[in-house]
């Protein structure tokens, strides 16, 4: 196995320390209890699925150690098996080792990989989102902590009531350079379903970039 010190990766800019944020929680309403005290029973709540972590060593010996990077990847569907993920990552290069962390709908992986030419170009260009079998996934230096990764979510815009015709495929085509989001300066996005409402969340590098989008929408 090749030991790669993530701190030596000077091709990737480091993130500033993020501002502390308070998490907002929605109030929980209590239902009226029509039963008598003697017949009251406690409602059983389903326990959340435990997070599982597993590591796979492929046995591959890198040919060019200068192209080896240790990367954390978000937004991988939990429906993909570990073998699926390994096969899809071949589009980026040769995997040396990979660690899977399952979290309900998505899986986060930390991968030691010898990047190919195209993936190296994207990485060195500092793009926030990379294509993985047609899906946009976010990638980070593996030595970034959670606060540094959350820093990329500071400047965001939320569009509510997105029509069903707007999909990940329409926003992120085979050639991401032709995405309708590119002119807005959007660095990453998420389409979510929240209480029956479809939302598009777009992320920006700075307040200046976000402000341009806000001003455009006001016109």
- What's 206's DSSP letter? S
- Please determine, looking at this structure, whether the domain spanning 50-151 carries the CATH number 3.40.1700: no
The domain ranges of the chain are: 50-151, 154-219
The mean pLDDT value of the chain amounts to 80
Of 132, 11, 128, 143, nearest to 72 (Cα)?
143
For the chain, percent of residues with pLDDT exceeding 90: 51
More confident residue, 39 or 196: 196
The Cα–Cα gap between 75 and 201 comes to 14
Of 75, 201, 60, nearest to 149 (Cα)?
75
Read off the pLDDT of residues 48-99 as tens digits, 9 standing for 90 and up. Answer: 555 677 899 999 999 999 999 999 999 999 999 999 999 999 999 999 999 9
Read off the pLDDT of residues 176-217 as tens digits, 9 standing for 90 and up. Answer: 888 888 888 999 998 888 888 999 999 999 999 999 888 877
For the chain, percent of residues with pLDDT exceeding 70: 76
Q: What is the mean pLDDT of residues 91-113?
A: 93
- pLDDT(10) > 70: no
């Amino acid at each position: 196995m090749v030991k790669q010190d993530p701190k030596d990766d000077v091709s990737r800019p480091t993130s500033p320390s993020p501002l502390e944020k308070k998490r907002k929680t929605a109030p929980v309403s209590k239902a009226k209890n029509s039963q008598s005290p003697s017949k009251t029973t406690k409602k059983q709540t389903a326990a959340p699925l435990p997070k599982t972590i597993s590591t796979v060593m492929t046995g591959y010996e890198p040919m060019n150690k200068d192209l080896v990077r240790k990367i954390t990847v978000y937004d991988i569907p939990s429906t993909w098996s570990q073998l699926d993920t390994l096969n899809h990552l071949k589009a980026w290069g040769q995997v040396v080792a990979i660690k899977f962390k399952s979290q309900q709908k998505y899986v986060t992986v930390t991968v030691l990989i010898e990047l190919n030419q195209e993936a190296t170009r994207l990485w060195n260009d500092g793009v926030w989102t990379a294509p993985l079998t047609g899906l946009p996934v976010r990638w980070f230096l593996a030595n970034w902590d959670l606060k540094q990764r959350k820093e990329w979510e500071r400047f965001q815009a939320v569009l509510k009531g997105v029509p069903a015709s707007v999909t990940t495929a329409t926003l992120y085509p085979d050639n991401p350079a032709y995405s309708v989001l590119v002119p807005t300066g959007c660095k990453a996005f998420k389409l979510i379903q929240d209480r029956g409402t479809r939302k598009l969340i777009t992320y920006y590098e700075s307040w200046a970039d976000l402000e341009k989008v806000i001003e455009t929408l006001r016109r």
